[in-house]
Structure 1
Amino acid sequence: MTTATRPASLGIREVAEQTGLSMDTLRWYEREGLLPLVDRGSDGRRRYSPAAVRFILLVQALRRTGMPVADVRRFVQFGGGTTENHAPRMAMLEKQEAAIRQRIALLQHDLGLVQDKIRTYRDLLARGLDCEDETEGVEPA
């Protein structure tokens, strides 16, 4: 593959800008084994392929949705590229998907409670009542 047809690699600063992660976080991810081996240019600087950036975005999503560092590391250690690694990786992703769906359901429930309270306060304010008026006759928890 010639340089003209090879996808451009990015330096750590560009990857940080694209992902919103700091350069220190990217380095930490690498040290902690949360990223496959990062290529180095002839100058010794990190070079990230488009596939590496996509993987970083996946790792970022897994962490943001609560996957523990140890599980992300295990996901990376399964490695990619070979079919025998697809099943364990997919199982981990399916488990994380279920956890995300459960969290979304809880958040939707909590959002409903907050929205109900906002409606109550708006109603009380519209009637000129103090927000504490709503709690009259209610025993403290």
Structure 2
Amino acid sequence: MNGPNYLERAETILAQWLGELTRPQANRINVAIEAADLLPAIHALVDARWGYLAAITGLDPGEATGALWVLYHFAEGAAVVTLQVTVPREQPVVPTIRDLIPLAGIYEQELGEVLGVGISGAPVGGRLFLPDDWPDDVYPLRKEFQPA
């Protein structure tokens, strides 16, 4: 099966959550999704055995937007589907997907530490990516961060 066919199948699986969909490249689709729809959408991909979680990344589009983006990247062959969740900058929270994809925990830990995105339903743990003495509420991947 080639990239476009993988993407067609992904679109069918995600049909009920396909709000804003973009195609940045021939073998990619990006789907804007509400945080409340994240678990059902990922559950649908997992149940359909469509691809694997390649990464979860976070992006700070700037303070003026009042938001942060959390991007869930799934890959199948050369095809990539990204689910983009926009969360408020002041209280960014997404649900954990660890129950569906246990290895997502490492990505979720990183999101919390370096971008300040809370993961509801995730166990509270120590630091993994930043030093233990790193100041609370200072997130090195936010645009306003100024290294000392």
For the criterion TM > 0.5, the same-fold answer is: no
For the aligned pair, the TM-score class normalised by the smaller chain equals under 0.3
- Larger-gyration structure (1/2): 1
The structure with more helix, counted as a fraction of residues: 1
The structure with more strand, counted as a fraction of residues: 2
Report the TM-score, using the length of structure 2 for normalisation. Answer: 0.24
